[in-house]
Amino acid sequence: MKTIGVIGLGVMATRMITNTMAYGGFRIGAAWDLDPEACKRVSTLAPGIRIVEDPDALIDDGRLDGIYIASPPASHVDYATAAITRGKPVLCEKPLGIDLEITRRMTETAVTSGVSNAVNFTFATAPAVTKLENALADGTVGKVAAVDIRLHFCKWPRAWQLPATWLNQRAEGGFVRETFSHYAYLADRLFGPATLEHAVTRYPTDNIGSETHALALMSAGGVPITFAGGTGGLDASGADRIDFTVWGANVAYRLYDWNRLRSNGGHVWKEHLEEITDARQEGYRRQVSAIGAFFNGHEHPLPDFAQAFRIQELVEAILATKS
């Protein structure tokens, strides 16, 4: 079983540590974060994890077989480049970076190096996605006429994201990078690389905050894909809406609330995955298993840097438009 180091100890890393302790597959041996309080929280959560003095010490640590990067997006390229240069497999949170040209060069370095690399898109292992893929492959869905992606957040950032202040800033954050990218990955996985045909994005008047609304028309594998997203900032109330609908000639399938799946053949919506007690936890279990396979050099479903960079190009193209 391989032992890895973690850079960045925010929400995603804490979740990863918790799930690894629950489901195994690999060990987390050391970690680093700029914030001493984050380091203390992890030391309390998992006392066996060593806290190192800086990211270079972690990347250079010969006792570690790979690196997981969960720091804010602007730092991803530097850490990933350092780890790849030292020949250590890298799992990175998305996006790979925020500057396309710099990220492109890092991705090319990763590809030519032969060092294993992957990006942590949760839909790579989600039970609902497996079910949807099977329905597409066996003809249950029929010819796909269109795909709709709908995202609305009554508040952005969401309450559990508030400590990550960069999420509400245009430079690194926003729901298009943070959430739409997962669904862009899903469309890429199901139908192939997408081409952006038209988009419009609205930003706050201060030009500092992240986007408030985004619309895009795309196509992938001959399938038209529409995306509509918006947020009430920090002032709205109500429920979020997060769904991905595949409109087929036979049946429509809707992935919603991240882990739930339903279908409709023309009458009523039928729920799927009801045999799974907790689809969210089952997704975590599969995710940790896939990450363990990645670090152990086995076959796995995680996307590599090249695929993640395609998603980043699409995301940044949408964000570059203005209403």
- CATH architecture label of 123-319: 2-Layer Sandwich (3.30)
Strand partners, 216: 199, 227
Q: Do domains 3-120 and 123-319 have the same CATH topology?
A: no
pLDDT in tens, the chain (323 residues): 899 999 999 999 999 999 999 999 999 999 999 999 999 999 999 999 999 999 999 999 999 999 999 999 999 999 999 999 999 999 999 999 999 999 999 999 999 999 999 999 999 999 999 999 999 999 999 999 999 999 999 989 988 898 889 999 999 999 999 999 999 999 999 999 999 999 999 999 888 899 999 999 999 999 999 999 999 866 667 789 999 999 999 999 999 999 999 999 998 999 999 999 999 999 999 999 999 999 999 999 999 999 999 999 999 999 999 87
pLDDT score recorded for residue 178:
97
pLDDT score recorded for residue 163:
86
For the chain, which residues make up each domain, given as ranges?
3-120, 123-319
At the top level of CATH, the class of 3-120 is: alpha beta
Rounded to two decimals, the pTM is 0.96
The DSSP string of 35-100 is: -HHHHHHHHHH-TTSEEPSSHHHHHH-TT-SEEEE-S-GGGHHHHHHHHHHTT--EEEPSPS-S-H
